[in-house]
Amino acid sequence: MERLEILIRQMPKIASAFGCIRRIEMFLKAETKRDNRMIMELEREVTDPSFGHELATIPQQTQDAIVIRDLSTGWTADQPVLKDITLRIPLGNFAMIIGPERELSVNLEDIEVSLNPEPTNTNATTIDASRQTGDLRVYWYYLKTMGLKHTLLFAILGAICMGFGPAQNLWLNTWASDGNSAHISYYVGIYSIFFVLEILLTTIWIWHVLIFPLSASSIKLHDSQLNAALSATMAFFSNTDTGVTINSQDLMLTDNELPLTLIDCVEYIYTCIYRMVLIGLATAYVAITFPFVIATFYFVQRFYLRTSRQIRFLDLETKAPLYTNFIESLAGLATLRGFGWEEEFKRQNNEYLQASQRPFFLLATIQRWLALVLNLIVSGVAIIVAIAAVELRGSIDPGFLGLALVNIMTLGTSLQSLVSFWTDLETSIGAVSRIRAFSEETPSEDPFHLPKAPDGWLKSGQIDIENMYAGHGPDSEPVLHGINLSIAPGQHVGSIIMDGIDISTITINQYRGSINALAQDALFLPGTIRDNLISADSVDLSDDQLERVLQRTGLWDKVQDIGGLDAPLDAEASLSHAERQLFCLARAMLNQSRVLALDEFTSNVDIDTDKAMQKIIREDFGHKTILAVAHRLDTILDFDRIVVLDKGRIVEDGSPSELLGRDSAFRVLYDAYRSEKTN
């Protein structure tokens, strides 16, 4: 019966494994990068080390370094972006290709790539001081997430359900001792009742534990980790390895393995207790050995657990560099292919994969050792029962003796399963420990849980900055020193009390949501075009309003080509860099905030797109307070004020005409900018 139960439990895992194999097969059959070029025999190589190793093997065989004939290519096979390109670039010439940005948006990603990255240190929250001996407070924390009432009901129902098996055995023993055949229907009826109640209550028990306490626990653990991540400081993300942050195995354990392991562990605790009671009822002498057996099992599992728990930690932690390498390789794929680093990164990936698999095989090995030791212990108990049965055969009830022998045959498997499930529970509970540590120790941007400002607090756009110091972290030197600045409503300033409210006294997400910000890196979320246009504060916008802003930014025809407002949006594949920036500008036009912050918003687009965006900003946002950080200084000459910073301090503040009309730092910057632009 237990073997059948194990088979049933393993069937979902087998089905999941086949599903994974199917997805892997589909991925391997997907279209790959076709490279049908012939490898040229190298006749002469560049040996000048100043070129770097990337250029060390470029052949110099012809006078034309690059020859392009009738090239048509694009993001998809049926929509070429470059058409019928024929080009020759002589050897040693510097060639620049000029054209609209949206047609020449084939850029190597600005990704920091290292050919020999050192394994980064995982976050301190994954290093638990109690990783060898465990921490009982983690169990209490987990039970509280389940709900104490549901936990108590789970324990009581489990005891009742597991008690039906021994009760049926005792009833069969009583039936066998009764020689009156007239009582058969009575015994069969009671036995049938036991059987039906066992099935019914076990079903209720499993349903209750999966639907209520364990589901509630998984949701609470997920929410606590998600809230900690969403409220974490930017310094935390910059200092924490990406593989540690996205490693989802903890949630997988709490959602899948931990609940089932908890059910199995509770089930076998009751099963072993009931079977040892039955054995003790039959042979009291054997019961004397139970304390020694229990003590032996305790020390065996304790010795095993100190190892298996750390192996499970290693299994989780060694996967973090693998995830990091995969994400960075995928993000910088264009760079890797451009410099021919694919083989090197494949080698690194294989090394990380090999390292991540070692703990898994070690865990399987020590589990085999545990099975061997437990079987030897149970064999010793079975020998004692057999000896007692032979020596005390006249003083022991035959029915109870048979019951004891039947239970001793399965006690070994039950004890082995109990210790195995208990150790799995101990190692899996480490996921709860890490989630708890992450939730409680991750630095928050709002540690004091500041209150919200009144609704509609940002009305005029007045900004006052008083004696502000700011840096990149609590331990770093300040970047801004003693900044004092007052910005009137509607002023445009190129460089913090807002509408009379100190933003340090209200929740951080509220004043973030009250500012319309545009950066040089466009942000898109999975979803439709409509989802990416509409913010949480403007869900009631009509299609006409969405169409108007898209018409205003020149993207309406593009949106119709993609499939309309409700079409899925893949910004990387469907939009050029300039179009992505225009899309963000259209999104900002739907935001009714009184403050617009521009962080080098047009620095990476072509001149024509820049002019179009500047025109929209001045016409559609002219009545709002605008804060702009810009390197193209001619784009801010019509602003109301310009604030010049030097080493984190304000050195100049005035209108553009005022600063350009005298000997000022801004005039020096502007003259240098114009000179560089002219050259």
CA 432 to centroid of chain Cα atoms = 16
How high is the pLDDT of residue 676?
80
Mean pLDDT of the chain: 76
d(CA 628, CA 613): 13
Q: Which residue has the higher pLDDT, 170 or 53?
A: 170
Amino acid (one-letter) located at 175:
W
Instruction: List Cα–Cα distances, 185 to 279, 331, 463, in angstroms.
Output: 28, 73, 90
Confidence of residue 133 (pLDDT cuts 50, 70, 90): low
Pairing, β 480-487 against β 649-654 = unpaired
Report the 10 Å Cβ neighbour count for 165. Answer: 18
How high is the pLDDT of residue 350?
92
Predicted confidence (pLDDT) per residue in 551-590, tens digit: 999 999 999 988 888 999 888 888 888 888 899 899 888 8
Pairing, β 64-73 against β 625-629 = unpaired
Query: Which pair of structure tokens corresponds to residue 486?
Result: 């007052």
SS3 441: helix
How high is the pLDDT of residue 48?
45
Predicted confidence (pLDDT) per residue in 434-486, tens digit: 888 888 888 887 777 777 777 776 666 677 777 777 776 666 777 777 777 77
For residue 307, is pLDDT > 70? Answer: yes
For residue 46, is pLDDT > 70? Answer: no
The CATH architecture assigned to 130-441 reads Up-down Bundle (1.20)
Amino acid (one-letter) located at 180:
N
Domain ranges of the chain: 130-441, 463-678
Query: Which pair of structure tokens corresponds to residue 26?
Result: 């589909």
How high is the pLDDT of residue 105?
42
d(CA 480, CA 510): 23
CATH 3.40.50.300 for domain 463-678: yes
DSSP state of 37: P
Model-wide pTM > 0.85:
no
Pairing, β 641-646 against β 625-629 = unpaired
d(CA 155, CA 149): 10
